[in-house]
Structure 1
Amino acid sequence: MKTNFLLTLVLLSISLFSQNRTEIKIPDIQGYFTLKGDFHVHTIFSDGTVWPEDRIKEAWRDGLDVIALTDHLEYSPHSKDVSKDKNRPHEIASETAAEYGIMLIRGGEITRSMPPGHLNAYFLNDVNKLNQTTFMKAIEAAADQKAFINWNHPGWKAQIKDTVKWYDIHTELYNKGWLNGIEIVNYHEYYPEVFQWAIDKNLTIFGNSDTHEPISFEYPEKEGKFRPVTLVFAKEKTLSGVREAFENHRTAVLFNDTLFGKEEYLKAIYEGSVKILNQSAFVDESKNIFIRFENSSSIPVLLKKTGDDADVKSPEFIKIPALTTIIVEFTMQKNQGKKGVKIAYEAQNWLCGPKTGLKINIGFDAINLNNPVLKSENNLYYFTIPGTGSEFDVRYSFDKGMKDGLCKLSEPVKKTGKFTLYYQLFVNNSPTGKVYERDLYVHRGVFANLLSTGNYSKKYDGGGSAGLVNGMLGSTNYRDGNWTGYEQEDAEIIMDLNKPVKTEAVSMNFLHAPFSWIFSPISVTLFVSVNGKDFEEVKTIRPEPTKESDETEIRTISFDGINKEIRYIKVSIKNIGLCPEWHTGSGKKAWFFIDEIIIN
């Protein structure tokens, strides 16, 4: 028997010791402490079933900082077993509150039919003095003690007929300064009309549990339920600090993952909770940007788009769960970057009014380093990146390690022929993000005048009309923006070098990627001319026929041994037309991709 008793004590001690507090993570704002409270709590000293000390322990477990015990003044169904003294709940709970670090407000609930309904009085000296024969005498007794008076559950269905109503007696109380706050949330109910009253009349808002049973019975954790919480923005963590916040209407309400309150407080909480971790985000080769949002608060954010940035395709809805980091995909409409992207959203569950969500601007810099180009000025070549102005510090080098010979984009490229150029973004003189690389070929035909290019695909245009002579070499990725694609079409390309040029050889690259329905051409014929009218055929080259075993590669066709001055070049290219019989796309239209006609 003794052994069993000791075992029970040990197990009970372990149970109490192992209780975990659920921390409600909401940042302090504007120099105020963000306190969490429940200001409508009943005990066994009225119609509740819980001992006052246990209400303190429940509050601690639920992450609260302050509560008010507010037993009914006129109603004591357990009076045979407990005292009718309405000060006793506070007296019993005070020592436990001190032990658990919970601030405890002495309060009571004036309980009358509607109108005026039920009202809580806070910061009382003697709760019993409010137990009067008439409602007005009870309110006067509260006012005499300089109580803060709060209207409870104005939308409680048991006390209203058709709709929520503000009565004349409430106007009288309000005008006398005897109605200071109002519950916009009570138990499991939210009253949007009451929220609007609070806004219109500048009443302090509350969201309270009105708990009678053990809190875990009314808000089962296994069902993901949690009591309503009133947030108090207090100058100090004291009861006088709480009261000062009440009197200056510095509260908000958290209920069912929805936050209610004034815009200035909700905005401050959002800014203290939600961060974009990569404010400068890189655009990938598919024009996508992946933005990382971190929410360090216990409040999820449900965003609905209300305005666009014309240059960016953005999701209609974004959900940022509590205490989570997520990645959200945005897409540039064009293959370029942009500084100062701004997209308007509204937080649907952060309400500044019954129908008004907190307005949020999501902003970031979209940095696109995927499509560099060469440009020519005063017979010098410059490496540049469209969409990145002087506000972005991009540097390049011929050194893969980006250690030697770093140059800014404003400095000309002092190299000719074929070479690889490496480049990277710098922020505050420090390298940021990955090192990009591009193969270039600065040759005699760079920026030649293209007189004819044939009917190429607008989707694969090689960077525009000059894409075939821009010095940028295509990679094995047909989407890299450097390839000019022709679907089933043959092509005749004519270029003017602007003056006679001693030419040794002409070459060009073709992408061979059968799995992507891109094939080497059947034949390529080169013609040259001095006057642009009389063309001399140099040669016809027929690449090796496509085989089923072919892998993706870049095939170079070169016409060597020209050794003459020429000004005009014409290239005739014969497309394979249709995919071969062995191909999965047999009989469907085939492509050829060409890039950079190189003059040496």
Structure 2
Amino acid sequence: MHNKIIMLIISILAIEGLCAQNVNKINFPRYAENTRMEMRIPNQINGFITLKGDLHTHTYFSDGSVSPDMRVDEAWKTGLDVLAITDHIEYKTNREYITGDENTSYNLAKKRAVERGIILIKGTEITRKQPIYGHFNALFVKDSNKLKVDDPKAAIEAAISQGAFVLWNHPAWAVDTCRIHEFQENLFKNKMIHGIEVFNNTEFYPRALRWAHEKNLTVFSNSDVHTSIYANDGVHGAGCAVTVSYRRPMTIIFAKDRSQASIKEAMFSRRTLAFFDGYLAGDKQLLMDFCLACLSVSQIAQNDTHITYRIDNRYDIPFLLSYGKSKVLLSPNRSLDIKLEKTVDKLKLDLENVFVDEFQTLSMSLSL
């Protein structure tokens, strides 16, 4: 009798819409959320908008293990604005299963990119013996098939004839140090290399940052992701360990607008910064402008001799600050109070996670 009364009550509640959930099946929709992890940085610097990009990724149309659509979805979920799918022309582990058209991965990803609001750059990777020749991404190509030639220099010439931006990938990958070989030196002399990765996947190349300054190259930080960006299974370019808080490597681009023409102009004009694992690298003045835009200063308290200032970091870039005898990690959404004598009008800061040259970090003055 007792059980019948309980069932009657449940039935009445269900009819009245007060108990719509099946008690024997409970859904947890948060596990299937289609949400984007925003990466907050200043929206504008010196009149240019800031865009976040990954210009070196792969799909199963070369030696990756995911579809072009998934690569776009990952870009959207991890806060990117710009993506290039750069499948190898020469190296294809899935050769027996895929089409011979080198434009296929881009063509398949275009619709999803439009739906997600991702700016998709057409690219491909010219992959030759490392390190004698090296690997190069050709960005903004029109037809990747025309780059399928035996001579590596001719392949790069074919890309440039289409107006491509040529990026030297991971200059020290699979070798013990960064070196410029005869082939690359020849490319530099003929102005056939426009940018260089100072960070790739898990590797930072301080020497490449020096070359960027000496040879007027645009700096990049890219994931070179082959499997899922969330995986860490030992495959080159796998992405990240899911057991730690992670931001994918990205290139910060300072463009006039969101058009591909503006992004291309920004790359050729060297208006980029490299961001990786909480570090920044690039041109000193651009880094200084960017960091000053990230940090705000306000006066909190004062007495007859001293003023207390608060430094706020309201963006998602951490800063390892060194001043006087103090060293503080100013994480995103954190603030720091500093008490200074009234006669001090500027605070000298060393940003130890911001690289302006090979093993040289950024020093700047913060106006108070």
- Shorter-chain TM-score category? 0.7 to 0.9
CA distance in 1, matches of 2:302, 2:35: 42
1:481 corresponding residue in structure 2:
none
TM-score (structure 1 length as normaliser): 0.53
Q: Deviations over 1:216-271 (max 9, x none)?
A: 00313431232211010001111111100011011000011011111221111122
Segments of 4+ in structure 1 off by > 3 A? 10-16, 287-290
Alignment gaps of 5+ in structure 1: 1-9, 306-313, 333-337, 365-600
Q: Which residue does 1:213 correspond to in 2?
A: 227
Alignment of 1:141-160 (within 5 A): 141-156=158-173, 158=174, 160=175
* Pairing 1:240–2:261 present: yes
CA deviations 1:134-163 (Å, max 9, x no partner) are: 21221121122121111100011x2x3x53
On the 8 A contact 1:267/1:358 being kept in 2, the answer is: yes
Counterpart selection for 2:115 from 99, 117, 123: 99
Shift of 1:315: 4.6
1:24 is matched with 39
- Cα distance in 1 for partners of 2:315, 2:298 equals 15
* Cα drift, residue 15 of structure 1: 5.7
Secondary structure class of the residue paired with 2:95? coil
2:363 aligned with 1:353 = no
Q: C-alpha offsets along residues 38-57 of structure 1, whole Å, 9 cap, x if unaligned?
A: 00000000000010001001
Q: Do the aligned partners of residues 122 and 212 (structure 1) sit closer, same or farther apart at CA in structure 2, a change above 3 Å counting? A: same
Shift of the 356–89 alpha-carbon distance from structure 1 to 2, 3 Å rule, reads same
Secondary structure in structure 2 of the residue aligned to 1:73: coil
- Structure 1 Cα separation of the partners of residues 145 and 365 of structure 2: 52
Query: Does structure 1 residue 304 correspond to structure 2 residue 304?
Result: no
How many angstroms apart in 2 are the aligned matches of 1:200 and 1:319? 31
What does 1:265-344 correspond to in 2, within 5 Å? 265-278=286-299, 281-283=301-303, 289-305=307-323, 315-328=325-338, 330=339, 332=341, 338-344=342-348
Matched, 1:185 2:199: yes
Question: In the alignment, what sits opposite 1:43?
Answer: 59
Moved more, 63-72 or 264-273: 264-273
Q: Distance in 2 between matches of 1:263 and 1:316?
A: 23
Equivalent residue number for residue 13 of structure 2: none
2:96 is paired with a residue whose SS is coil
Deviation at 1:202, TM superposition (A): 0.9
- 1:442-591 equivalences under 5 Å are none
Rounded to whole Å, the distance in 2 between the matches of 1:331 and 1:274 is 18
AA paired with 2:284?
E
2:15 matched residue in structure 1: none
Distance, in Å, in 2 between the alignment partners of 1:72 and 1:166 is 22
Aligned AA (1:24): M
| Counterpart AA for 2:315 | S
CA–CA separation in structure 1 for the residues paired with 2:360 and 2:219: 16
The CA deviation at 1:76 is 1.7
Partner SS state of residue 294, structure 1: strand
Quick check: which one's strand share is greater?
1
Higher relative contact order (CA 8 A, sep 6+): 2
For 2:200 and 2:62, locate their aligned partners in 1 and report how far apart those are by CA, in whole Å: 18
Aligned partner of 1:31: which letter? G
Distance 1:38 1:229 in 2: 5
Q: Does 1:172 align with 2:179?
A: no
Residues 32-111 of structure 1 mapped to structure 2, 5 A cutoff: 32-111=48-127
For the Cα contact (< 8 Å) 1:220–1:226, is it kept in 2? no
Unpaired runs of at least 5, structure 2 = 1-25, 232-238
Give the length in aligned residue pairs.
Answer: 334
Residue 227 in 1 paired to residue 237 in 2?
no
Secondary structure at the counterpart of residue 41 of structure 2: coil
Aligned partners of 1:14, 1:282: CA distance in 2, in Å? Answer: 47
Q: Is the 8 A contact 1:33 1:234 kept in 2?
A: yes
Does structure 2 retain, via aligned residues, the 8 Å contact 1:45–1:84?
no
What displacement does 1:20 show?
Answer: 2.1
The structure whose Rg is larger is: 1
Seq. identity, %: 36
| Aligned-CA RMSD value | 2.1
Match of 1:253 in 2: 274
